[in-house]
Structure 1
Amino acid sequence: MKNQLIFIAQRLINMTLKVIGAGFGRTGTLSLKAALEQLGYGPCHHMKEVMLHNDQAEWFSKASKGIEVNWHEVFKNYSSAVDWPAAAYYQELADIFPEAKIVLAIRDPDAWYKSVNNTIFRVIPNFPKWIRFIFPRSDKVFNMIEKTIWQGEFSGQFEDKKLAIQIYKDRVEAIKKTFPAERLLIHSSKDGWEPLCEFLDVGIPETPYPWLNDSSKIKRAIIVMRILQWLPLTILVLFIIALMVN
């Protein structure tokens, strides 16, 4: 335990990106984030960071428009990065951080497509436009997601299941061909701790490998979004009724 704390302290002092997650979202990236942080490679960048921090939303918004950003500045407070939007720039990040190791999170292609299609792909069309109007930062984030993921990764054709799965498979093969075996780990959440710890040359924790799944939370959020879409109209109708009654 003492050695692990010393290791984590050294990571924090010498903060730079040491692990780059190249896998698409919904491939176990949330579990991988938790695992990396437990192993001392935290904080780990994830889409949630973009949602929470103004500077992250601003940087990735610029990157999605093709504007050059300082990746050292973007990741100055992180030891690792997984999930979109960082994964969309895996090659660029690998070049800028040549000492960083690459972890490619994978999942059964059909299960991956189903998960994306039932969760994050449904967020933007169901997110109330009036909220995006009132809160410009949310609009900036969703525009970034549209450009980076749905247009950038899938050329606006994610709804074509066959094509989307082929793009997923092509990404996996491209990464396999790009990086040497000593720099790349292909990892599924089902693989657990052992291959990840061996790859990073750290001890295996006594606790089980994290198994995090936010699908149910996202689905509940989508239901709430659909209800909120009608809120302004509902208020307007109630206001008109109140005027008529009076």
Structure 2
Amino acid sequence: MASLRVARRMFCAAAETAAAAPAAPAAPASSSRWERVKNSKAGVWCRSLVSDYKEACREIVLGAWGRPAKATVYLTLMGGASACVYTNPDQSSFEAALLERSNQLGLLSPWIRNATSDGHIQNLVKLRNEGRLQHASLGLLSLVYWANYDTDSALYEAQCSNLSMPWLEFHQRVLDVGFGSRWWILDSKMRDYDVNEDEFKNLPAHMQVSSPPSVQEVEKNERLHKESWLALKVEDEVKEAHVVDRKEEKVSEEQTEPAKEEQT
């Protein structure tokens, strides 16, 4: 009952206020609707938000105009950070790179594979098959590390948070770092993957190190290689045969002359 009385009093007061107010000129329906939207809470909030952003942009432009060096440094850092985020490799890219490196080693004989490259790739493949190879994205870069158990495993040791990996040991479990669309540790391990260093460990020290050939030697080898593919002419073969015959005749004459002198 009390609520009904309060509501009745409110309606009566509103009716009296409307009757006492002077009649205003009728405005168009579209303008009145737009005025109501502008004066509403949402409209006031949107106008204040646009005004704040406008003022912030104006201050940014004025600050950049007053300090161009500082603005250039900030823009460079923001652009570099955006590029790093855009080129941050994900887990699928690491698996694709691992598969490609594994295929490269698979095309080689086990006797000529680099032991470091082969061991690193075999370890990564083993962890991936066991589901223990995990990926963590840090925004600017990504990390690949190994875990004790598969995340989908239902073992108590894998699900208990108290038995999870301690954070102090995380740096020891990192296997690769992804930055700029590259996996740096994987690329460094695959350097000279087709050179088995164990084959040369018993050689002398001066034979274990080879210097790159000079420009003249490279040009000479290329020239000889091109000449080896040229066909021999018949005239050249005949001339070479005549030269050989003449040399043989001279040698035979030189051998017979001392014998004649001894007989005389």
TM-score calculated relative to the size of structure 2: 0.19
TM-score (norm 1): 0.20
Q: Comparing both structures, which one devotes a greater share of its residues to helix?
A: 2
